[in-house]
Amino acid sequence: MPLSETVISCRNVWKLFGPSPESYLKGLHGDPGVEAIRQAGYISAVRDVSLDIGRGEMLVIMGLSGSGKSTLVRCLSRLIEITGGTVTVEGQDIGALSEKQLIGLRRSKMGMVFQSFGLLPHRTVLENVAFPLEMRGQDRATRRKRALEVIELVGLDGREDYFPRELSGGQQQRVGIARSLAIEPDIWFLDEPFSALDPLIRREMQDEFLRLQEMLGKTIVFITHDFDEALRLADRIAIMKDGAVEQCDTPDQIVLNPATDYVRKFTEEIEKARVVHASGLARPINGTVPEGQPVAGKSTIRALARMLVNDSREVLPVSDETGRITGGLNRQEALNVLLGGQA
Amino acid sequence: MSESTLPDRSPTPITPAFNPTWALLALAMLLIAARPILPDGLMRPADILILPLADWINALFAWLRDDLGLIHVTRAIADGIEWLLNVTANILYGKNRWPRVGPLPWSVVALTAACLGYWLGGARLAALAGGTFVWIALMGQWKWTMETLSVIVVAAPFSVLFGLVTAVAAWRWRGFETVLNPVLNIAQSMPHFAYMIPVVVFIGVGPKAGAIVTIIFSVPPMIRMTLLGLRKVPHEVIESGKMCGSTSWQLMTRVRIPTARTDILVGVNQVIMQCLAMVVLASFIGMPGLGQKLLQLLQALKIGRSIEIGITIVLLAVALDRCSKAWAERQPTHHEPGIGWATRHRVLLIWAALMVAGFAISAVIPFFAEVSRGQSLSVADPIDAVMSFIIVTIDPVTQWLRWFLITWVLIPVRDTLLWFPYTAVLVALAALGYAVGGWRSALVCLGFFGYIAISGWWDRAMITVYTVLVAVIVAASFGFPLGIWAARHAARARRVLLLCDTLQTFPSFIYLIPVIMLFGVNDVAVVGAVVLFAAVPLIRYTIEGLRGVPEAMLEAADMSGATRGQSLRHVRLPLAFPTIMVGLNQSLMFSLFMVIIAAFIGTQDLGQEMQRALSSTDVGKGLVLGFAVAFIGLMADHVIRRMANT
């Protein structure tokens, strides 16, 4: 994915818990490792993380529980104060914002969805969805109109007078999603939004989410502990362990070239052919365009299986959405991926 | 059975060389053994040790009151409250004050109560709430009840508001909470009377003093519940509020407080119940109403009419409790679209119609406006007849019981406690403290009882301790087995819990009626009332603890081949232990309160002295005694908590 313009950028972000984290961090030169920090009596929730998120990009932060992924997203939205480093949103250092400016930023640019929904139990669906608009001080009629629009968008029309406890988990999360979209944010944080749902509903909500993203094209930071979910949704995945990012790359690259043993463990169980796209495996071509019918870059190797087996060409041309040839796919490499060997 | 589980759990620090617990106990024994040769200063606190605390407090209050002019402030507040009290008094029982519209016909009040009950909890609650007021009217107790209610109606909202604001402040400023917590601890273990004396000093006596003491007394639980509720608001709800761009004011008023609604309303429920309990007791400072009537009747030993008033107070308590609980538990539900205003507000419309009907009928038939003396259905005489028959019939039993308890239990225990040198008691308490929580707990125990020694009320305090001890042991001896028995089946447990729940809503005063009836006015009656009052939380928490043991654990025990007894001993009782300790703790607290209240039927303990302080408005003495009672309670609380947590 070409990075057009960086929306969120974090540089050497640290979050430490302990007696006096700031002065401890000042004394550090680089990252001494999670054990050394623990020995010193501190807990490192986020350790020296640097990431850039481009406009319209979906970055999925993946990690097991305790890896610091939820803390990181709260650093990006300044729900918690960071110990060191900087987080900039559209060029603005959010650590330097005053309380009032921060509230202004949240009211105009940010939306967030929570794992256990975070709905207000005493308000109806409509009132929950309209809540951020109410905080902005918009009048009742405008609030209602906009809220009904988003409620319809997430497919809850007809339920606007229900209370959260009268809805199923999936429906409650739809309310959470609707609420986060009410102010038309540019940046959308989703903290394990589907983890509390059962597997069938989760799948359905992922599809729904992809549909919404197709329509809205937001800049998204999505947190999950589910590697399959990450592969399914992400433009790029950042895999976290003990507060640090182990690898941040496209799903294709993570599956094909895991950077560390930890990342490799996740990829071992994955059927790579379902993840890797033709474009991800393609090599640049130096002038000579391979002959014959090109394959679409966005199709997975799994989808091309029959053709790869039947074709006899050594290198297949790969095209992007516009039909332009972007590279060549080595058929043997592709077959290796398909058959489960190393590429 | 119950006692046997306790020592098992208390930690025995294993230091073979030197064990302070045993060393301290040995020292206490030594002091007792050496009693004949002990110097006087070790028997009872020497005069120079006893600080003139009461004089200091009196001087402080005099300074506050007169030199600082605080009395003008309190009088002004009291006048404001009196104005409000006059309004409610006029509306409820027609006191000749502004707005001069009352009194409301009793039928209108009863119908309103029934509608409110229906709205909150359906037909059964409607019957309870409406029926209560019908009973009150028919029994000819309308005026007294309305005198009581007119105070609650003013006091409860004040304490709710005051509690809410204080809790929010404590939540907001850590430092304030650190100061507030110990104050609340002491306030909640101070007996009712201790609150009354300063109020009498600053406000005087009568309804406004009653209202103010009620407000002060009922605030602490509101603060506690609100704080708890604010703490319990899920993290993500707050974060979602922040991400929606709430300012901290919006976050408090539109996110935190509404989300904590249920806990806050449970606080409101407790405020109402505390108000009722206090208003009844405030008869001691000249507060008219049900309490005063009951006090007069009890002192005159008019059993039949006391029972009638007792029933009224109980009905009122249960109705108020159930209605406010139903309010707390009420969950919002949506209405299907297209349903008209009339359907959505059905109860409101019915109420309005009933109001019109009630006023009309009262205007035509005076009986529905006011039940006059001759028309009331008081059944006091037949009750008296039945009761005196019962009392005469079982008299041999009660006589014997009274004789047995006084001669063989009460007097020996009391005399033994009084016979101990105070130094021995202090050292023994330090040993207990060390056993449950190390040197810190030993110091805590020593500190609390050390205060009692230097306050100059050692003997009185020992009498209080003895009454409480005997009562709790008796209560435990039947409360634990009863709890274990009731916990065996789910349905039975539910029924007994409901009964306990109802009994706990009764104001403490009520427990005095049956014991005075049976035993007359003496020590046995006091212990009897305390036993009844103390048994309820014991039974309740034993059941809750035993029923709360996870099913999986019991199944695991069954599959390991445990018999029912083994399962009880090795699985259920150990797991229920912390909950049972909570029950024991509450039981001790309740006993202390009850002993003090029972003072007016003639005890020789701290409560008696407090009554004297009250009648002579000796605020210094009253507070010194109040702290003594509070510290006994706090020490017991500390020890039991320590035991439950280890």
**Per-residue pLDDT reduced to its tens digit, B236-262:** 999 999 999 999 999 999 999 999 999
User: Nearest CB to A121: which of B244, B245, B259?
Assistant: B259
Top mean pLDDT of A283-292, B99-108, B490-499 is at B490-499
Tokens of residue B588, six digits: 């001790």
User: Nearest CB to B237: which of A103, A120, A136?
Assistant: A120
Q: Average pLDDT of chain B?
A: 89
For strands A110-113 and A187-191, give the pairing. parallel
Which residue(s) pair with A11 in the sheet? A86
Tokens of residue B130, six digits: 């409406």
- Work out the widest C-alpha separation in chain B, in whole angstroms: 91
- The correct answer on CATH 1.10.3720.10 for the domain covering B388-646 is yes
A155 torsion bin: left (phi>0), alpha (psi -120 to 50), beta (else): left
Say what the pLDDT of residue B4 is. Answer: 38
Lay out the sheet containing A325-330: strands in order across.
A295-296, A315-319, A325-330
Say what the pLDDT of residue B103 is. Answer: 87
Which residue(s) pair with A190 in the sheet? A113, A222
Distance, in Å, from the CA atom of A259 to the CA atom of A238, rounded to the nearest integer, reads 11
Q: pLDDT tens digits for B277-315? A: 999 889 888 888 999 999 888 888 888 888 899 999 999
Say what the pLDDT of residue A341 is. Answer: 60
Say what the pLDDT of residue B6 is. Answer: 39
Helix axes B2-9, B458-486, angle to 10 degrees: 110
CA B44 to chain CA centroid, Å, is: 33
Q: Average pLDDT of chain A?
A: 90
Q: Which CATH number fits domain B153-292: 1.10.3720.10, 1.20.1600.10, 1.20.1250.20, 2.40.10.120?
A: 1.10.3720.10
Q: For residues B572 and B549, is the Cβ–Cβ distance under 8 A?
A: yes
Q: pLDDT tens digits for B43-58? A: 888 888 888 889 999 9
Distance, in Å, from the CA atom of B207 to the CA atom of B82, rounded to the nearest integer, reads 8
Q: Looking at residues A21-25, what average pLDDT do you find?
A: 90
Tokens of residue B439, six digits: 């040197």
A184 in contact with B, Cβ within 8 Å: no
| pLDDT-derived band at B17, boundaries 50, 70, 90 | low
Q: Considering only CB atoms, which chain A residues are within 8 Å of B254?
A: 120, 131, 134
- How far is CA B448 from each of CA A302, B106, B185, B451, B608, rounded to the nearest angstrom? 78, 51, 13, 5, 21
| pLDDT-derived band at A270, boundaries 50, 70, 90 | confident
**ipTM of this complex prediction, to 2 decimal places:** 0.88
Q: What is the CA radius of gyration of chain B?
A: 27
Q: Looking at residues B494-518, what average pLDDT do you find?
A: 89
A136 in contact with B, Cβ within 8 Å: yes
More confident residue, A340 or B223: B223
Q: Considering only CB atoms, which chain A residues are within 8 Å of B237?
A: 118-120
Tokens of residue A174, six digits: 């739809």
Say what the pLDDT of residue B536 is. Answer: 94
Q: Is A122's CB within 8 Å of B255's CB? A: no
Q: DSSP 3-state helix, strand, coil percentages of chain A (rounded to 5)? A: 40, 25, 35
pLDDT over 90, % of chain B: 52
Q: Which of B258, B308, B246, B208 is nearest to A99 (CA)?
A: B246
Nearest-CA distance from B215 to chain A in Å? Answer: 29
Asked if residue B1 has pLDDT above 60, the reply is: no
The 3-state DSSP class for residue B310 equals helix
pTM: 0.87
Least confident of A119-123, A319-323, B408-412: A319-323
A14 in contact with B, Cβ within 8 Å: no
Q: Which of B514, B593, B113, B499 is nearest to B316 (CA)?
A: B113
Q: What is the CA radius of gyration of chain A?
A: 22
Say what the pLDDT of residue B16 is. Answer: 53
For strands A315-319 and A325-330, give the pairing. antiparallel
Least confident of A192-196, B321-325, B518-522: B518-522
Q: Is A122's CB within 8 Å of B234's CB? A: no
Distance, in Å, from the CA atom of B217 to the CA atom of B267, rounded to the nearest integer, reads 13
Say what the pLDDT of residue B9 is. Answer: 46
| pLDDT-derived band at B8, boundaries 50, 70, 90 | very low
- What is the DSSP annotation of A172-216? HHHHHHHHHHTT--SEEEEESTTTTS-HHHHHHHHHHHHHHHHHH
Q: Considering only CB atoms, which chain B residues are within 8 Å of A180?
A: 243
User: Nearest CB to B259: which of A103, A104, A122?
Assistant: A122
User: Nearest CB to B243: which of A106, A115, A121?
Assistant: A106
Q: pLDDT tens digits for B305-314? A: 888 999 999 9
Q: Which residues contact A238 (CB under 8 A, 6 or more apart)?
A: A51, A59, A60, A61, A62, A245, A247, A248
Say what the pLDDT of residue A83 is. Answer: 93
Q: pLDDT tens digits for B194-218? A: 888 888 888 888 888 999 999 999 9
Q: Is A163's CB within 8 Å of B244's CB? A: no
Q: Is A107's CB within 8 Å of B245's CB? A: yes
| Domain range list for chain B | 84-138+342-376, 153-292, 388-646
Which residue(s) pair with A330 in the sheet? A315
A106 in contact with B, Cβ within 8 Å: yes
| pLDDT-derived band at B5, boundaries 50, 70, 90 | very low
A236 in contact with B, Cβ within 8 Å: no
More confident residue, B336 or B364: B364
Q: Looking at residues A282-292, what average pLDDT do you find?
A: 79
For strands A6-17 and A84-89, give the pairing. antiparallel
